[in-house]
């Protein structure tokens, strides 16, 4: 006899354990006679999780982000977000690129309003203005709302870009090295701001960075990519520092240095070894999944294999 209550409970539990975003076996090649930039990339992200990806230039980090944004198609594999396959751009994803990409003839307020109008075409001008003002205030630029981009510093422009991305209230925020061109002081201020905003809103974030310290400050997990071609996710590093970490005190925690040393060692040494292994392997051969790593927590620093598709809650 069927136990309807138990079946319903199982169905609810299974749905709750599904990751918000699932990248399944994604590969990208630009020409049939060329090797793939990356291949068999699989990982998952929980709702409200902040994930960073680190790797050398040319490994395909930005291409993966473009696939998540729907700006490029994967050659193989698929991306599922909130139970729907990503097949193109959408307002459920906000993107912030290295360049602010603001419309130069519009003020800060009008740049935000332009984005809000695309999300809420039936709203009145007053509604759009009030909604945009909330996000301008969120990034601390209320006093600059009527200024145009040429009147703003680089850091202020990037803050407008972040406010614009948040203003459409996306399910997921995609950040492609948004602070890379900023000076260290400005970058630190905006990192702190982003950390505060994401903690308050529980925003789901996928971010590309070359800054190891930035990844440790912001991310719940850090994906480490091997060098291309045939790049792949080699390791998934779980950030085992307390989630309420702060820049001012983070460097006093010995665990920060354990994680940092592990990341730097990957970039300087292990990524080259993995690239050599990839070159020696047969193209298209079956490979094990990335290592899940908890530096300073696991006895040998390494966890299990084949966990690339599992978000933290499911591990």
61 and 130 inside one domain: no
Asked whether residue 7 is domain-assigned, the answer is no
Answer yes or no: do 247 and 202 share one domain: yes
**CATH number of the structural domain spanning residue 245:** 3.40.50.300
Same domain, 214 and 72: yes
> CB-based burial of residue 59 (10 Å sphere; 0-12 exposed, 13-18 middle, 19+ buried)?
buried
Q: 185 and 262: one domain?
A: yes
In a domain, 216, yes or no: yes
Same domain for 70 and 214, yes or no, is yes
C-alpha closest to that of 162 among 149, 150, 179, 148: 179
Please write down the long-range contacts of 148-154, taking CB distance under 8 Å and 24 or more positions apart.
Answer: 148/104, 148/105, 148/106, 148/107, 148/108, 149/100, 149/102, 149/103, 149/104, 149/108, 149/111, 150/104, 152/108, 153/186, 154/181, 154/182, 154/186
Domain-ending residue, one of 151, 169, 187: 169
Is 125 contained in some domain? yes
Same domain, 205 and 72: yes
Q: Is residue 81 part of a domain?
A: yes
Pair 190, 249 in one domain? yes
Domain boundary among 169, 195, 219: 169
Do 37 and 148 sit in the same domain of this protein?
no
- Please tell me the distance from the alpha carbon of residue 20 to that of residue 16, in angstroms, as a whole number: 9
Residues 232 and 157 in one domain: no
Residue 259 inside a domain? The answer is yes
Per-residue pLDDT of the chain (315 residues; tens, 9 = 90+): 445 554 454 444 444 578 999 999 999 999 988 899 999 999 999 999 999 999 998 899 999 999 999 999 999 999 999 999 999 999 999 999 887 789 999 999 999 999 999 999 999 999 999 999 999 998 889 999 999 999 999 889 988 998 999 899 899 999 999 888 778 888 888 888 888 888 888 999 999 999 999 999 999 999 999 988 889 999 999 999 988 888 888 999 999 999 999 999 999 988 777 766 665 664 444 556 788 999 988 655 555 554 444 444 444
Instruction: Write down which residue in 125, 151, 169 finishes a domain.
Output: 169
Question: Would you say residue 290 lies in a domain?
Answer: no
Number of independent structural domains in the chain: 2
**pLDDT at site 16:** 53
The answer to whether residues 180 and 59 belong to one domain is: yes
Q: Is residue 4 part of a domain?
A: no
Residues 117 and 262 in one domain: no
CB 224 within 8 A of CB 234: yes
What is the value of pTM for the model shown? 0.84
Same domain for 178 and 85: yes
Query: Residue 119: which domain range?
Result: 98-169
């Amino acid at each position: 006899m069927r136990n309807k209550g138990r079946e319903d409970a199982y169905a609810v539990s299974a749905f709750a354990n599904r990751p918000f975003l699932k990248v399944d076996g994604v590969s990208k090649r630009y020409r049939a006679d060329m090797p793939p930039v990356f291949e068999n990339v699989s990982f998952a992200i929980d709702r409200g999780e902040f994930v960073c990806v680190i790797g050398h230039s040319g490994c395909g980090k930005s291409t993966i982000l473009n696939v998540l944004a729907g700006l490029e198609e994967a050659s193989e594999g698929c991306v599922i977000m909130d139970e729907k396959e990503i097949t193109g751009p959408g307002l459920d994803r906000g993107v912030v690129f290295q360049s602010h990409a603001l419309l130069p003839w519009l003020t800060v307020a009008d740049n935000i309003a332009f984005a809000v109008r695309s999300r809420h075409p039936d709203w009145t001008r007053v509604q759009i203005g009030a909604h945009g003002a909330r996000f301008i205030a969120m990034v601390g630029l209320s006093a600059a709302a009527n200024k145009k981009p040429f009147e703003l510093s680089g850091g202020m422009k990037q803050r407008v870009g972040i406010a614009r991305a948040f203003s459409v209230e996306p399910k997921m925020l995609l950040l492609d090295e948004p602070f890379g061109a900023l000076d260290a002081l400005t970058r630190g201020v905006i990192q702190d701001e982003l950390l505060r905003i994401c903690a308050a809103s529980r925003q789901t974030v996928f971010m590309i960075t070359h800054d190891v310290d930035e990844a440790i400050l912001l991310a719940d997990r850090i994906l480490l990519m091997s060098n291309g071609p045939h790049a792949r996710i080699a390791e998934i590093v779980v950030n085992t520092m307390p989630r309420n970490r702060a820049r001012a005190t983070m460097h006093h925690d010995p665990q920060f240095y354990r994680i940092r040393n592990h990341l730097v060692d990957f970039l300087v040494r292990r990524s080259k070894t993995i690239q050599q292994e990839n070159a020696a392997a047969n193209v298209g051969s079956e490979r094990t999944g990335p290592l899940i790593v908890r530096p300073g927590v696991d006895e040998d620093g390494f966890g299990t294999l084949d966990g690339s598709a599992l978000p933290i809650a499911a591990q």
